């Protein structure tokens, strides 16, 4: 087991990286689970014309058709490996015999280059529908809407549409302006010789605000949720679980954090012994 501890600059949380393997699982108890963030609101399907009597059923990603597994993450088929992801729950529409409706999905990250399309599973592939994405005022969410014309399973297919908007370190370093931090990065061995990670933490002077992370400068094979943004609570604490990214054993990457005031980079290289 390898346990790495970086210098602690905050009393908020301890910055640790813990690997659990089958050969050393008994040496230390597993770290406590990271609390999950509130899920995105469910999709909204609104009649526009014609049949008003259809029904909707929300489904989790684990129930989506047209799904494959890539490095322990469920992703839509028909895209280059690791390029596209799902975001949020999907919706099954039944009983829609005629007319049109608007299917809207709540998404995050559009201000940092993330986008995508509402997708319809046609039985063999995901069909990307014409989609309008509108930011929601005073929120880190946007609304992604498409016009639908019949029954089916719909989901939001998420991918980078403008890499130039991905966050870069244009802000001051957090320590330089007196912002302290504590980050918990938890990594566990996964099948196929990979490690899966999630994280939580906190920044002082960042109460009721937001924090983003971006996985940068990474070695080959690092995949998964490489960018996301969440709100912080009244103490500046944030939780990115159940977000996960994956690295081959021995891989390296940097986690680039940003708050409205500053940035912090955490560099990791290696894997469990």
Domains annotated on the chain, with CATH: 3-22+167-269 (2.60.40), 51-165 (2.60.120)
Flag the least confident range among 17-21, 54-58, 183-187, 195-199. 17-21
- Give residue-wise pLDDT tens across range 234-249: 899 998 877 778 888 8
What is the end-to-end Cα distance of the chain in Å, rounded?
6
- pLDDT digit string, tens, across residues 111-141: 878 899 999 999 999 999 999 999 998 888 8
- What pTM was computed for the model? 0.54
Mean per-residue pLDDT for 39-45? Answer: 89
> CA angle, 231 as apex, 228 and 233 as ends, to 5°?
145
Rounded Cα gap, residues 194 and 208, in angstroms:
35
Which phi and psi angles does 61 have, rounded to 5°? -55, -35
In the structure, what pLDDT confidence band is assigned to residue 82 with cuts at 50, 70 and 90? low
Q: How many CB atoms lie within 10 A of CB 147?
A: 14
Q: Identify whether the C-beta of residue 60 lies closer than 8 Å to the C-beta of residue 227.
A: no
């Amino acid at each position: 087991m390898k346990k790495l501890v970086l210098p602690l600059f905050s009393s908020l949380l301890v910055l640790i990286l813990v690997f659990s393997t089958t050969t050393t699982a008994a040496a230390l108890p597993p770290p406590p689970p990271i609390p999950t963030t509130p899920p995105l609101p469910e999709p909204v399907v609104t009649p526009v014309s014609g049949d008003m009597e259809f029904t909707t059923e929300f489904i989790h990603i684990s129930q989506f058709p047209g799904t494959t597994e890539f490095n322990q993450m469920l992703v839509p088929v028909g895209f280059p490996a690791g390029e596209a992801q799902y975001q949020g729950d999907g919706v099954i529409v039944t009983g829609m015999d005629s007319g049109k409706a608007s299917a809207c999905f709540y998404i995050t990250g559009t201000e940092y280059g993330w986008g995508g399309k509402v997708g319809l599973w046609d039985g063999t592939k995901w069909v990307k529908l014409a989609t309008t994405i509108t930011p929601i005022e005073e929120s880190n969410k946007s609304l992604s809407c498409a016009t639908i014309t019949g029954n089916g399973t719909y989901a939001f297919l998420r991918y980078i549409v403008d890499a130039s908007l991905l966050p870069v370190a244009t802000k001051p370093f957090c320590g330089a302006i007196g912002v302290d931090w504590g980050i918990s990065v938890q990594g566990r061995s996964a099948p196929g010789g990979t490690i899966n990670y999630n994280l939580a933490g906190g920044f002082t002077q960042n109460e009721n605000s937001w924090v983003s992370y971006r996985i940068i400068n990474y070695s080959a094979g690092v995949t998964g949720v490489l960018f996301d943004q969440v709100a912080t609570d009244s103490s500046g604490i944030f939780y990115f679980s159940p977000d996960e990214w994956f690295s081959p054993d021995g891989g390296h990457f940097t986690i680039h954090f940003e708050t409205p005031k500053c940035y912090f980079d955490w560099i990791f290289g290696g894997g469990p012994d």
